[in-house]
Amino acid sequence: MENNLNDYSRQNRPRDIAIWVLAILLLLSIGFIIYQNINYKIDNSSLTIDANDLERSREILKQELRILRSDYEDMKKVAKEQDSTINDRDIAIFEKQKQIQSILNKQNINEDELQKARKLILSLQTDIADYKQQIAKLTYENKKLNAENLALNTSKDSIRKEKDKTENVLQKTKDAYIDHQEKVNATLSLSNYKIKGINVRRGGKEIETTRAKRIDKVRVSFDIDENESASGEKTLYIAVHKPDGSLGIFDGAQNGNLVLRNNNEIKFSDKIQINYTQGEAQTVSFDWIDYDFPKGKYDIDVYENGFKIGQSTIELR
């Protein structure tokens, strides 16, 4: 019996081994199939994840580009006055935006292209930051220039007003000087100034005398010299100072006060009116009558146009 079992065992051993081998191979096959299936799912999942990442990256980059564009457009509005360097930078920024947009609009974008778009966006960010700085600098310089121009214009206005004021003062001074010169030139001058004491005898005969007791009147005469600047009615003011320094007031005289051109005020004994003909010499003579001519020196001054134009002296004994 035991021998039979041994014989049976020896006869069936190869078959058992084969069964085990087949079983192992089957298990390995099943395991390989499962492994392949798992790997396939993993690969599939990985591929899906990569595709999603690319799409998300694309959208993120697009959003960054939109933000940069908006920022850039806002800065362009600030830059109302641009110079050539700003215009050149505008062109460069615009071209870079087009390049980025072209990459991001591709249907089947890959990682390399996304990387390129990222680098271009970073470069664009730098360009726009520089653009902002340049705009800020230009804005500051423009405000500074406007302030300087305003100060300059204010200064120019002030200088112009001061200049106009000075010119006006100078013109008035000139006009006043011309007017003064004309008036000065029109001032009469005297020559042959004479003063005589007159004694009137019976029958009206007049005899010249220097004896105070015999004098009935004082005759003043002088020549008005030729003057091309003067003409028309002229007023001559006569001041007679007696030996005691008092002002002589004569019968029928028009005495009063006179302010000269140097602002000094004097008293005059009489005034006479003459009608002067331009450019001609003219003789003037008039008498003063007083009840009493004391002995001493008499000073007789003549004024016209605010100036003293004549002075003479007579001494009575």
Per residue in 15-44, pLDDT (tens digit) is 566 566 556 655 655 554 455 444 434 343
What would the mean pLDDT of 178-201 be, rounded to a whole number? Answer: 85
CATH number at residue 308: 2.60.40.10
Place of tokens 């021998």: 3
Residue 139 lies in a domain: yes
The number of beta carbons lying within 10 Å of the beta carbon of residue 308 is 13
DSSP letter (8 states) at residue 228: T
Q: Are residues 114 and 194 in the same domain?
A: no
Domain end point (choices 133, 153, 186): 186
**How many independent structural domains does the chain possess?**
2
Tell me: the pLDDT tens digits for 217-235?
888 888 989 999 888 999 9
Q: Are residues 178 and 247 in the same domain?
A: no
Helix, strand, coil percentages in the chain from 3-state DSSP, rounded to 5: 55, 25, 20
Q: Are residues 295 and 308 in the same domain?
A: yes
Q: Are residues 310 and 210 in the same domain?
A: yes
Residue 14 lies in a domain: no
Residue 205 lies in a domain: yes
| pLDDT value at 264 more than 90 | yes
Domain end point (choices 131, 165, 186): 186
| Residues 246, 293 contacting (CB under 8 angstroms) | no
Q: Are residues 152 and 124 in the same domain?
A: yes
Q: Are residues 132 and 217 in the same domain?
A: no
What would the mean pLDDT of 167-173 be, rounded to a whole number? Answer: 88
Residue 41 lies in a domain: no
Domain end point (choices 186, 215, 243): 186
Domain span at residue 278 reads: 189-316
Residue 207 is inside which H or E element, if any?
A: strand 206-208
